């Protein structure tokens, strides 16, 4: 399996007067992963240090909480739908490595 399409390399990002999809998806995925690891780690550390437990019977789950849970399940589904559409409709029915990386992150 190729990481980028033929005649497009990761080392030469400027192709046909624009940046290649391979380059953009790889850089954005790497940036998002670093952002989530750094700031998510800081947030987890702050919650472990300064949080206190609450009784769930006192605060019932609101509509917005349920909407947030539904959105968390919808995000991976939308990434898979995007990958399937890229494979079947947009590109030449070939899976490249950057597509899988973009779908995972």
What is the total count of domains within the chain? 1
Q: Is residue 11 part of a domain?
A: no
User: What residue numbers bound the domain in which 79 lies?
Assistant: 21-51+60-104
Q: Is residue 3 part of a domain?
A: no
Q: Is residue 35 part of a domain?
A: yes
**Rounded average pLDDT over 71-79:** 91
Q: Is residue 46 part of a domain?
A: yes
Q: Is the pLDDT of residue 57 over 90?
A: no
Q: Is residue 13 part of a domain?
A: no
Residue pLDDT, tens place only, 7-43 = 777 777 787 788 888 888 888 888 989 999 999 999 9
Q: Is residue 64 part of a domain?
A: yes
Q: What are phi and psi of 8, to 5 degrees?
A: -125, 125
Q: Is residue 15 part of a domain?
A: no
Pair of tokens at residue 43: 């947030």
Q: Is residue 6 part of a domain?
A: no
């Amino acid at each position: 399996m190729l990481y980028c399409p033929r005649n497009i390399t990761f080392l030469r990002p400027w192709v046909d007067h624009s940046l290649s999809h391979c380059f953009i998806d790889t850089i954005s995925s790497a940036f998002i992963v670093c952002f989530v690891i750094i700031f998510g780690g800081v947030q987890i550390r702050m919650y472990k240090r300064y949080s206190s437990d609450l009784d769930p019977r006192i605060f019932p789950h609101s509509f917005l909480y349920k909407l947030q849970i539904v959105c968390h399940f919808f995000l991976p589904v939308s990434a898979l739908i995007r990958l399937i559409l890229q494979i079947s409709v947009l590109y030449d029915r070939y899976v490249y490595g950057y597509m899988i990386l973009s779908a995972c992150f």
